[in-house]
Amino acid sequence: MTASSTVLAAASERTHVRVPMRFSDGYATTADVFTFDGLADGREHLLLGLGDWQGALERAASGGPAPLVRPHSECLTGDVFGSERCDCGPQLREAVERIADEGGFLLYLRQEGRGIGLYAKLDAYALQDAGLDTYEANVALGHGEDERDYTVAAQMLTAVGGSAIRLLSNNPDKAVQLEALGIAVEERVPTAVHLSAANAGYLRAKRDHTAHTLDLSAA
């Protein structure tokens, strides 16, 4: 986590390209994909402008609602391979469509496994199979429960003029960190609950341990 009252260094736009997108279920849209110079961790994070994101910024500047924004941490297993051990892939798919409908941004953050990396995440899966929950497994490997830092998300948003947002997330820590970094979170908008037999325990841990906004009454 980032500390409160963090001074945010400026990042600048590096590249801006149009990318047509099509998901496996046939949903299609077009994203304006931004890359940046000056990101705090030096990694290759992306900001995707979806729908009428320019209009959303203009409406916010005139006193209207802020753009809808989702900071989405990379999950190779869920986003690409369709793993059902988490809800990341379905959340990504949902977020792209909802943001495209309203106008806003998806931030694709290179923070696999809550920041511990791909191999360590798979090591944590093995510990979960032995009975630990998703947070206990990270700690057992010598990591923090959640090592993600949203400084780069705040930098990217600031660079495109998104200093006020409506945050599409179930995770309260994202709002806490972004506000400490100078991003005004005008509203927290929960995602749908993507529950499966394979991820019920994972979602319960997120609800019970870190107060994610999840109604798991069917779990």
pLDDT in tens, 61-98: 999 999 999 999 999 999 999 999 999 999 999 999 99
Please tell me the distance from the alpha carbon of residue 10 to that of residue 109, in angstroms, as a whole number.
17
Catalytic residue list contains 59: no
Q: Are strands 164-168 and 28-37 parallel, antiparallel or unpaired?
A: unpaired
N residues, the chain: 219
Structure tokens at 102: 């309203």
Q: Give tens-digit pLDDT for 14-57.
A: 999 999 999 999 999 999 999 999 999 999 999 999 999 999 99
Catalytic residue list contains 204: no
Q: Are 107 and 156 in contact (CB under 8 A)?
A: yes
Q: From the candidates 114, 146, 149, 166, give the one annotated as an active-site residue.
A: 146
pTM, two decimals, is 0.91
Name residues whose C-beta falls within 8 Å of residue 115's C-beta, 6 or more positions apart in sequence.
73, 143, 144, 146, 147, 148, 149
Strands (DSSP E) along 57-210, which ranges?
Answer: 68-73, 104-109, 164-168, 184-189
Q: What are phi and psi of 82, to 5 degrees?
A: 75, 25
Query: Is it the case that residue 196 has pLDDT exceeding 90?
Result: no
Q: From the candidates 148, 149, 204, 215, give the one annotated as an active-site residue.
A: 148
Q: Print burial letters for 23-47: b (CB count within 10 Å at least 16), e (below 16).
A: eeeeeebebbbbebeebbeeeebbb
